[in-house]
Structure 1
Amino acid sequence: MNLTLETKRLLLRPLVMSDAEDMLAMDSNPNVHKYLWQKPSATIEETIKTIEYVQKQYKENNIGRFATVLKKTGEFIGWTGIKFVNEHEENGNTNFFDYGYRLNENFWNKGYATEASITWLDYGFKEMNISKMNAYTHAENGASNHILQKVGLQFMEDYLDKEGVLWKWWQMNNPKQ
């Protein structure tokens, strides 16, 4: 995938295998997974499979989650981006664009998720001409729910996943359509 986006402080680029160790450091942290099914990664092999899965999405859907890196230091802080969800159903939906992010705990509360979100939504609506962007968050994840609201997504409804966990469904229509 040959796409790189920039914000004031961030570089958003495709995930590559050299991101595996930094991704594992993020995904093995139980705090990062508190609102993500409580299944932290345990091995580098799991992380490599995740990167391969995302790279497959780049080829099949021309979009996917991107490494999010501090421009000033080159430090990997997590991933952000748009994903086309067509392999499972979420809240009764499939074949939809989903915006999401995951940052390593050291980089929380610094405005990075908001900064990346604004850039990704702008790209999705202007460059990809997506008519509707969706997102979903654990109902108790106050920080992520706040960020999605702050960048313009509208809370649509609460729903239960197949394990009975309460999630929030968010949506934003393309302001240019």
Structure 2
Amino acid sequence: MNITELQTSRTILIPFSTDHATEAFTWFGDPEVMKFTPFGPDKSVDATLDRIRHYLEHQAQYGFAKWIILERGSGKPIGDSGLMYCSELKRFELGYRLLPDYWNKGLATEAASAWVQHGAHALGLKYLMAFTHLDNFASIRVLEKVGFRFSHQAFLMGMPSKVFALPDSAVGCGEA
């Protein structure tokens, strides 16, 4: 099933287009937003454009990727969320990030939950994982709220990480 939109009560998630680069740079280039990401903030709009192109390649291959989060009603881009194949985990992993003005409002949990439901039900993914920096307590709370459980610690993409799995997920067994 290839869908082009996910909705929550307060957001709409749609695939990125290259037209979103300037708006998306507001969070991809923000050191506070990108503090706990493996490679830090994007240095330029061109770097964000490269990131979006990578997402579009993933979208073409799998039918999903990281998507832009729009605030319902205003249509304002406020972040991104989605599922990406993580070669280090050999699994699809959930990710999300929001502009700081949208933190602590449950929006990351809404977006993450939409992807968990879509991944499990519509896409039939059996091995969904997530990882976050050891000190990213807000992200850890989001993962726990949407049903992930701590699996183990690892060094992923150059950073010390906590790895989470859905309770019925197997870590490191077979292919996604």
State the TM-score, normalizing by the size of structure 2: 0.89
- Aligned match of 2:165: 171
Q: Distance in 2 between matches of 1:133 and 1:106?
A: 28
Match of 1:114 among 94, 109, 113: 109
Q: Distance in 1 between matches of 2:108 and 2:60?
A: 25
Verify: 1:126 aligned to 2:121, yes or no: yes
How many residues are aligned here? 168
- Aligned match of 1:44: 45
Where structure 2 has 5 or more consecutive residues not aligned to the other structure, the ranges are: 170-176
Q: Distance in 2 between matches of 1:160 and 1:119?
A: 27
Q: Distance in 2 between matches of 1:33 and 1:6?
A: 24
Q: Distance in 1 between matches of 2:167 and 2:6?
A: 22
How far apart are 1:162 and its partner, in Å? 6.5
Q: 1:158 to 1:4 in 2, by over 3 A?
A: same
- Aligned match of 1:144: 139
Q: Distance in 2 between matches of 1:161 and 1:130?
A: 22
Q: How large is the RMSD of aligned CA atoms in angstroms?
A: 1.7
State how 1:45-84 maps to structure 2 within 5 Å.
Answer: 45-84=46-85
User: SS state of the match for residue 13, structure 2?
Assistant: strand
Q: Distance in 1 between matches of 2:156 and 2:83?
A: 21
Q: 1:104 to 1:9 in 2, by over 3 A?
A: same
Q: Distance in 1 between matches of 2:144 and 2:58?
A: 27
Contact 2:153–2:160 under 8 Å retained in 1: yes
Identity of counterpart residues, as a percentage?
26
Contact 1:133–1:173 under 8 Å retained in 2: no
Give per-residue Cα distances to partners, 1:84-115, cap 9 Å, x unaligned.
Answer: 23xx32xxx32x11111111112111110001
Where structure 1 has 5 or more consecutive residues not aligned to the other structure, the ranges are: none
Q: Distance in 1 between matches of 2:163 and 2:27?
A: 25
- Aligned match of 2:16: 15
Give the ranges of 4+ consecutive aligned residues of structure 1 lying more than 3 Å apart after TM superposition: none
Q: Distance in 1 between matches of 2:114 and 2:157?
A: 32
State the TM-score, normalizing by the size of structure 1: 0.88
How far apart are 1:136 and its partner, in Å? 0.3
User: SS state of the match for residue 166, structure 2?
Assistant: strand
Contact 2:25–2:44 under 8 Å retained in 1: yes
In structure 2, give the amino acid aligned to 1:128: L
